[in-house]
Amino acid sequence: MKKNKFDITAEELAKGLGISLERLYEVVDFFDADSKDEWELKEGEHFAWLIKNAKTRTFSEFGAFAIAKYLDTTQPQNIWSRLKEFLFQYKAKLRKSFIRKQILKHCNSLTIRNGHIYLSKTDSIGILMTSHARINKAFEDLLVSDPSLEKGLDFNDFEDKRFYSLQGFEKICHLLGQELTLKDRREWCKEVTVTGPEVMQKLMDAEMAFESKVEAAKKAVRQKDGDRCQATGQKTGPAKSMTVNVHHIFCRQHYPDIAASQDNLVTLSEAVHKNFHSWNGKAPCTADRLIEFLAIHHPEAETLTLRLHYSNKVYHRIKPNILVAAK
């Protein structure tokens, strides 16, 4: 038996039925007044308590139908058309919410390449809740359609993995929305066609805005550090050409929340930067790891070591984001 969902707030239901919130609660009070009459709202079937002492509730679709039925018998208005329109919009809102949640679970591969937003095939399957075989068939069918999918515009391969652009992803969604056997799966794909690209575009807009913050922080740290390697004290000049990198003390992969913090950034020469990452291997970058590296390879870097101790003091309570790093 399908479990009731009590997602409809009193405010939403009142607005959808075209009555005031006060009128809605008058109806609810009437339902509660006489347990022997035909009008009854059952807890767990028609409603759930939001705050019982305040007598506020959320409603299921069954509850909405029960209240609409009562209103239809007691006042002259086309309540059923109102209810139908309300439930249509309500279900559309729920579908969009579910799709957004599914995208957020499967969006780690979102990337911008050559001016296009791309999503991996694996994440596309997760969002569409389909199989490799079914998405492969849709892709092959679209390759021989007119117009066909175009590499570099609708799809591409990066690091030996298949990616779809938002345009290509939308075309696959549209095809599955027409051809899948089960109606609910077709409807899901149709909704993803509308909602998916919009949500992913917003995610990438947010990512690009954050990337701008990271770059601004790096530029500020370069200026603060005088574009000088903080481990060796060396600086690019007429007699010595040297590339200076900005290093995340606590690596961006494992500590994304502080990626745009200037206290988490330091300038190192390209040579020192490469040597540290080679020495550190696959371990997460932290202040302690850089302190250990400096003690072995640059014991004279006292000022930087003290600065790293300060970073530890600032960020010692921040835990690495293992889930982000593992994807």
The phi, psi pair for 111, rounded to 5°, reads -150, 160
pLDDT score of 77? 67
Separation of alpha carbons 327 and 319, rounded Å: 17
- Per the model's pLDDT, the better-predicted residue between 20 and 77 turns out to be 20
pTM (predicted TM-score)? 0.60
The neighbouring-strand residues paired with 162 are 157
State the alpha helices, DSSP H only, in the chain: 10-17, 21-33, 61-74, 79-105, 121-128, 132-143, 166-179, 183-224, 270-280, 287-297, 302-315, 322-326
Distances in Å between the Cα of 232 and the Cα atoms of 218, 236, 285 are: 19, 12, 19
C-alpha radius of gyration, the chain, whole number: 29
Mean pLDDT of the chain: 88
User: Which residue type occupies 236?
Assistant: T
The phi, psi pair for 112, rounded to 5°, reads -110, 120
Q: Both tokens of residue 269?
A: 């020469």
Separation of alpha carbons 96 and 89, rounded Å: 11
pLDDT score of 84? 84
β 161-165/47-51 pair status? unpaired
The DSSP annotation for 259-273 comes to TT-GGGEEEEEHHHH
pLDDT tens profile 45-96: 889 998 888 888 999 888 888 888 888 877 666 788 888 888 888 877 777 8
Eight-state DSSP code of residue 50: E
The phi, psi pair for 154, rounded to 5°, reads -105, -25
With a cut of 60, say whether residue 326 has pLDDT above it. Answer: no
